[in-house]
Amino acid sequence: MNRIINLLRNSHHILVVAHNNPDGDAIGSLIALGLSLDVLNKKTTLYNESPIPAVYRFLPSANRIVQHINNTHFDVAVILDCSDLKRIGDAASMVSKIPVIVNIDHHVTNTRFGHFQFIDTSACATAEIIYRFIKKMGVPINKDIATSIYTGILTDTGSFRFSNTNRLAFEICQEMVEVGVDPYDIAKQVYGTYSLGRIKLLNLALDSIEITNNGKLSIMTLTQDMFDKTHTRHEDVEGFINYARNIEDVKITALIKESCNSKGDKGGVNTFHISLRSNGTVDVASIASTLGGGGHPNAAGFSTESTLSDIKSILFEIAEKV
Ligand code: AMP
Ligand code: MN
Ligand code: MN
């Protein structure tokens, strides 16, 4: 940690990046680190390939996150919440030319890319690690930084319900509340704002649930047609997987999302993202790794160019071995 902090203190222009299709931890960590580097008078660019999901746009300085990088004269890139450099998207090739890459993450499948790594798989969120960095850097935590850290921990622990919820999750969040964070305010922003389209999409998603013959694997499918019909986007799916996950006796859940930019008649072949969840008895990170993705033991994912029926066949095969 000290080596990374010294490196940041001695750099001029730092690029801070989190994974594409960001969640609350990716955005929260990105902003919290960016605001802390401001206090150290560092020049930073905060980057994400994807638009910021509507529910996270309330975060302070969310509008500072850019979707394009013009300046290429960075001396350091800090990559957050990514098990693999590819997770940042198309910018990976440009970023890999930056002289120093720092990898800060909590995924068990982290490939240890970059020149410096700080990977702690026992951390509940990357935001927890960023909190520890901020403390070590001696940066005072203001309400904006606190809001970002709180949101990262709240969302990555599923509101303190998932297995990664640890003592520090509560301790840090308590401190963030003492700094001025209002838990009700953040909960309303993150969980309390549903568009009508999102409810209609949920209806379609619930109707799509299938369960394998042995009852151990459930599948929820969201096609591009469903997004089109309900005027929704991938970000609106956040949390849906839990309905399929909480069905009794189900050990693994898969949520299949068809990608929005891959329409066209290619014999049903399209880009799909598959999110996997486990009830704690099966390691989905290793399943996702064998399919080109990664994640945590109970929450992982992968993307593939395939057909819906081929993806389901793979999932049914997995179910048989459970
Ligand atoms: P999601 O599929 O977006 O619900 O993600 C669940 C977890 O798996 C998160 O911690 C992600 O960072 C991780 N994950 C999802 N897709 C990938 C991927 N293609 N490669 C590596 N990790 C992934
Ligand atoms: Mn994440
Ligand atoms: Mn995370």
Task: Give 80-89 pLDDT, tens digit per residue.
Answer: 999 999 999 9
* Distance from C-alpha of 187 to C-alpha of 153, rounded to nearest angstrom: 12
* Distance from C-alpha of 287 to C-alpha of 73, rounded to nearest angstrom: 38
Span from the CA of 106 to the centroid of ligand 3 (angstroms):
6
Given this model, what pLDDT does residue 36 score?
98
Ligand 1 shell residues, CB under 6 Å:
19, 83-84, 87, 107, 275, 293-296, 299-303
Task: Let me know: does 12 contact 44? Beta carbons within 8 Å.
Answer: no
Ligand nearest to the CA of 121: 3
Contacts of 185 (CB under 8 A, 6+ apart): none
* Distance from C-alpha of 282 to C-alpha of 270, rounded to nearest angstrom: 28
Ligand nearest to the CA of 83: 1
Given this model, what pLDDT does residue 264 score?
56
Nearest-CA residue for ligand 1 atom 4 is 275
Cα-flanking dihedrals φ and ψ of residue 87, to 5°? -65, -15
Task: Let me know: does 113 contact 84? Beta carbons within 8 Å.
Answer: yes
Q: Ligand 1: which of 107, 156, 274, 277 to mutate, most ligand atoms within 8 Å of CB? A: 107
Q: Which residues on adjacent β-strands are paired with residue 252?
A: 217, 278
- For the CA of 84, the closest atom of ligand 1 is 21
Average pLDDT, the chain: 95
Which segments of 63-122 are extended strands (E)? 65-66, 76-80, 100-105, 116-119
Span from the CA of 23 to the centroid of ligand 2 (angstroms):
5
Q: Does domain 2-191 match CATH 3.90.1640.10? A: yes
The domain 197-320: what is its CATH number? 3.10.310.30
Nearest-CA residue for ligand 1 atom 15 is 301
Which segments of the chain are extended strands (E)? 13-18, 43-47, 65-66, 76-80, 100-105, 116-119, 210-211, 217-222, 252-258, 270-278, 294-296, 299-306
Q: Ligand 1: which of 49, 85, 87 to mutate, most ligand atoms within 8 Å of CB? A: 87
Span from the CA of 277 to the centroid of ligand 3 (angstroms):
14
The pTM (predicted TM-score) of the whole model is 0.92
Q: Which residue has the tokens 């982290």?
A: 110
Ligand nearest to the CA of 156: 3
Q: Nearest-CA neighbor of 254 among 267, 240, 268?
A: 240
Given this model, what pLDDT does residue 101 score?
98
Q: Ligand 1: which of 259, 296, 304, 305 to mutate, most ligand atoms within 8 Å of CB? A: 296
Residue 261 has pLDDT above 70, yes or no: no
Residue 262 has pLDDT above 90, yes or no: no
pLDDT in tens, 36-77: 999 999 999 999 999 999 999 999 999 999 999 987 789 999
* Distance from C-alpha of 60 to C-alpha of 161, rounded to nearest angstrom: 26
- For the CA of 302, the closest atom of ligand 1 is 19
Given this model, what pLDDT does residue 310 score?
96
* Distance from C-alpha of 256 to C-alpha of 293, rounded to nearest angstrom: 14
What is the edge-to-edge ordering of all strands in the sheet holding 43-47? Answer: 65-66, 43-47, 13-18, 76-80, 100-105, 116-119
pLDDT in tens, 219-233: 999 999 999 999 999
* Distance from C-alpha of 236 to C-alpha of 222, rounded to nearest angstrom: 11
For a pLDDT cut of 90, what percent of the chain falls above it? 92
- For the CA of 285, the closest atom of ligand 1 is 8
Q: Nearest-CA neighbor of 36 among 118, 102, 135, 110?
A: 135
Domain assignments of the chain as residue spans, ordered by start: 2-191, 197-320
Residue 265 has pLDDT above 70, yes or no: no
Residue 266 has pLDDT above 70, yes or no: no
SS3 for 65? strand
pLDDT in tens, 164-214: 999 999 999 999 999 999 999 999 999 987 899 999 999 999 999 999 999
Q: 2-191 and 197-320 share one CATH topology?
A: no
Q: For residue 268, name the pLDDT band (cuts at 50, 70, 90).
A: confident
pLDDT in tens, 299-319: 999 999 999 999 999 999 999
DSSP state of 109: T
